[in-house]
Homo-oligomer: A and B are copies of this chain.
Amino acid sequence: MSDEPASPRRYHHGNLREALVHSAEAELQEHGLEQFSLRGVAKRAGVSHAAPAHHFGDTTGLLTALATVGFERLVAFKDREQAAAVADSVSQLVAAGLGYVAFAEAHPALFHLMFTSRRPDFADPALCAAGETAYRLLVEDVRRVAADAGIEDEGAVEARIAATWALAHGLADLVIAGRLRHLDGAAAKDRRQRLSAILLCGLAKL
């Protein structure tokens, strides 16, 4: 809307599909998943409430597209943290965890949409692919740590993959729920160190 203030009001939007995904994210961020409505998204995009149906069919279709974008963004958060971290495998894994938590904090409702709710169509090929890419990157990071630590047993590695994901996921979920009190008072840098310490507790076989 405010992107094109000077453009005349045209009958055809031009790129409504993308605009709707963008509006849907804003709607989700502001009202949460429980209050999310197709009408609200259409209103936010400045379009009649029946318009989204032409692009997404129903709410599920729109939320599916939004969740797909979410997984891509999750990977971007991880990449950013890892680029700023030391190169050794454990530090890289901790950075991946920090990225996971940072993503959840930046987009809590999107995080819930992707991992907790059942509203997107998780059988959708694009959504599947985005989710699997994110998962595969995590698996690679964990395998690198396991290899450096000399762990070869496949069962142990798989348990470690699950434990790593669970730790990062649980930490992210508790943080956005405001449940970890001893993080609240801390300044940004201190907070970050505490999160790293928590992740390191569970990730590293010291």
Contact = CB atoms under 8 A, between A and B. Distances in A.
A116 B162 contact: no
Interface string A94-125: 00000000000000000010011111000000
Interface residues of A, number: 41
- Give how many copies assemble into the complex: 2
Nearest to A199: B163
22 contacts: A32-B118, A34-B34, A112-B116, A115-B173, A115-B177, A116-B116, A116-B173, A116-B177, A156-B197, A159-B198, A159-B201, A162-B180, A162-B201, A163-B201, A165-B170, A166-B170, A167-B202, A170-B170, A170-B172, A170-B173, A201-B202, A202-B202
Interface of A: 32-34, 112, 115-119, 155-156, 158-160, 162-163, 165-174, 177, 179-180, 182-183, 194, 197-203, 205-206
6 A-B pairs with the lowest CB-CB distances in the bound complex, closest first: A170-B170, A202-B202, A166-B170, A163-B201, A169-B170, A166-B171
